[in-house]
């Protein structure tokens, strides 16, 4: 028998969401206990700050340039490697329950397997002689009751009245909705009358336990439990709003209350930051195109943060129930790995949602690995930067399998001492997007308490702009040292290392120069 693996992900969660990472509002005792008895990674970073590229990195162990999912809406090829398939071939039962998102959500013609399964209610499909993505069982959910997902199907069959209780993300013209609600009218804030037991967080936990209950006691299993929260819209069950009163919250540390101070910070960054703030340049997937960040008042920041804290508490409690069921089964040889795909601005710099902004709001992620007691691994904090690209090799290591040839990073280290020996020194993050005719391309390296981001040529950048931050003295990333002559040598060294370390694009998906010529127009 091998060690069981419970892989838990959330969607769009900040590092400081958890008590063990300095969070002071949401109560997360289950995750705090896992961190205390396991390894808490203090500087874990994604390879992309949007969903589909980041999740594709998790399952393939590859950088964005290699697996080719350079932005939301670009499907992970069916033939792409999958650590779930590797584990399944080694005898593991495999499941993914909750949000997958390796393929586009908007799929009215059901071209993609994930949407086909959700529509038919089937849990697996053979594609080219192989189980899809290597999962024996896939049971899908997204935020709310719409879409081609098992959760939406379950709601329709059992509680159809609940579908209309969720916030409607797309308006009648299929544009991302900017309508607000709640007490402050914040964008994508909504009072959701759904009973907690019907909400997708509890549904994911219940369906996970049902799948685990179906397994024999001696099974080796890999279960990816993937919660859709705390991704916007912010509409947890209204019955839970008593948990956090937004009126009692301080403003986030990353949100300067003084408007002049906020705008000065934005002006110190590449141009696309201030341009989005003013509503002049929207290059953010899933952010409402008609919403202008400059209009965000303090109380909306407070309410959105309060609702996010509530969603994080519900996730923690759901995880506790699943771990309790696992304990009842006597599966003590269990490794638990917890993380998210990317962060959330959540008011920092006067902004919400996500986009081409490579700072800690979106880049610094919670990552906890609680090894099985039989591993002999001691609890530790690891400060060396690590990437989600290491997850696939870590799962194989737990299962006692050799590192797959397709992965591009070794397993996660269990200490800072071990990190260098495993080759952990730098983490690379990429952004490419073409949205509303606007091109933004970023490449970032995190190393030695520095973060350097190069803005490649696009719609508003000519290749000379960028960002450079010293995390040891400027953890909020307020002082951009990119053009500071006294730090030019550090900047150039980091960028040289980044270009040397980035894998070449395996199959470039976009002719950026041609696209730029087609898109060139006043913004």
Residue 316 CB contacts under 8 Å (≥ 6 apart), including other chains: 26, 27, 28, 29, 30, 31
Query: 391-398 vs 51-60: helix axis angle to the nearest 10?
Result: 30
What's the number of CA atoms in the CB half-sphere (13 Å) around residue 299? 8
Mean pLDDT of 453-479: 97
Tokens at residue 279, please? 């509503």
Segment 469-519, tens digit of pLDDT = 999 999 999 999 999 999 999 999 999 999 999 998 876 556 655 555 544
Q: Is 466 helix (H, G, I), strand (E, B) or coil?
A: strand
Least confident of 5-9, 126-130, 279-283, 419-423: 126-130
Segment 243-281, tens digit of pLDDT = 999 999 999 999 999 999 999 999 999 999 999 999 999
pLDDT averaged over the chain?
94
Please say whether the beta carbons of 39 and 371 come within 8 A.
Answer: yes
Segment 287-319, tens digit of pLDDT = 999 999 999 999 999 999 999 999 999 999 999
Using pLDDT thresholds of 50, 70 and 90, give the confidence band for residue 435: confident
How far apart CA 208 and CA 19 sit, in angstroms, is 25
Q: Which strand (E) or helix (H) includes residue 367?
A: strand 367-370
For the entire predicted model, the pTM comes to 0.97
Mean pLDDT of 378-396: 98
Task: Please report the pLDDT score of residue 249 as a whole number.
Answer: 97
Residue 111 CB contacts under 8 Å (≥ 6 apart), including other chains: none
What is the greatest pairwise CA distance in the chain?
Answer: 64
How far apart CA 263 and CA 480 sit, in angstroms, is 14
CATH class of the structural domain 4-519: alpha beta
């Amino acid at each position: 028998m091998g060690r069981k693996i419970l892989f838990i992900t959330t969607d769009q969660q900040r590092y400081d969401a958890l008590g063990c990472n300095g969070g002071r509002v949401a109560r997360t005792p289950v995750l705090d206990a896992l961190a205390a008895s396991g390894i808490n990674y203090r500087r874990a970073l994604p390879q992309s700050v949007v969903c589909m590229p980041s999740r594709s990195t998790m399952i393939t162990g590859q950088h964005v340039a290699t697996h080719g999912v350079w932005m939301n809406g670009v499907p992970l090829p069916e033939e792409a490697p999958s650590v779930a398939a590797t584990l399944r071939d080694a005898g593991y039962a495999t499941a993914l329950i909750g949000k997958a998102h390796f393929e586009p959500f908007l799929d009215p013609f059901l071209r993609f397997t994930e949407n086909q399964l959700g529509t038919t209610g089937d849990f697996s499909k053979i594609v080219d002689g192989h189980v899809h993505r290597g999962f024996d069982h896939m049971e899908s959910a997204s935020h709310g009751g719409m879409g081609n997902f098992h959760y939406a199907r379950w709601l329709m069959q059992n509680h159809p009245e609940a579908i209309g209780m969720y916030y409607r993300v797309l308006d009648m013209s299929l544009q991302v909705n900017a309508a607000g609600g709640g007490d402050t009218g914040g964008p994508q804030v909504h009072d959701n009358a759904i009973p907690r037991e019907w909400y997708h967080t509890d549904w994911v936990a219940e369906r996970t336990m049902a799948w685990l209950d179906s397994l024999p006691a001696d099974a080796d299993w890999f279960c990816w439990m993937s919660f859709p929260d705390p991704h916007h819209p912010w509409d947890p069950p209204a019955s839970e709003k008593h948990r956090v009163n937004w009126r009692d919250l301080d403003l986030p540390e990353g949100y300067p209350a003084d408007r002049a101070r906020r705008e000065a910070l934005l002006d110190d960054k590449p141009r696309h930051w201030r341009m989005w703030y003013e509503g002049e340049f929207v290059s953010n997937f899933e952010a409402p195109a008609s919403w202008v960040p400059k209009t965000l008042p303090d109380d909306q920041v407070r309410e959105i943060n309060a609702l996010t804290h509530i969603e994080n508490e519900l996730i923690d409690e759901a995880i506790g129930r699943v771990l309790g069921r696992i304990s009842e089964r006597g599966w003590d040889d269990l490794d638990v790995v917890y993380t998210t795909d990317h962060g959330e601005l959540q008011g920092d710099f006067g902004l919400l949602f996500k986009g081409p902004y490579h700072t800690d709001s979106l880049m610094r992620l919670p990552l906890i690995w609680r090894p099985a007691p039989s591993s002999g691994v001691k609890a530790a904090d690891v400060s060396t930067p690590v990437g989600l690209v290491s997850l696939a090799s870590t799962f194989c290591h737990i299962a006692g399998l050799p590192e797959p040839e397709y992965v591009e990073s070794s397993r996660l280290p269990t200490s800072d001492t071990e990190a260098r020996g495993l080759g952990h020194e730098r983490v690379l993050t990429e952004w490419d997007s073409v949205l509303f005719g606007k091109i933004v391309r970023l490449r970032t390296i995190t190393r030695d308490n520095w973060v350097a981001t190069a803005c490649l040529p696009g719609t508003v950048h000519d290749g000379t702009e960028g960002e450079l931050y010293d995390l040891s003295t400027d953890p909020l990333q307020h002082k951009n040292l990119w053009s500071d002559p006294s730090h030019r040598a550090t900047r150039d060294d980091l960028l040289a290392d980044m270009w040397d370390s980035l894998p070449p694009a395996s199959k470039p998906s976009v002719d950026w120069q041609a696209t730029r010529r087609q898109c060139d127009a006043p913004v």
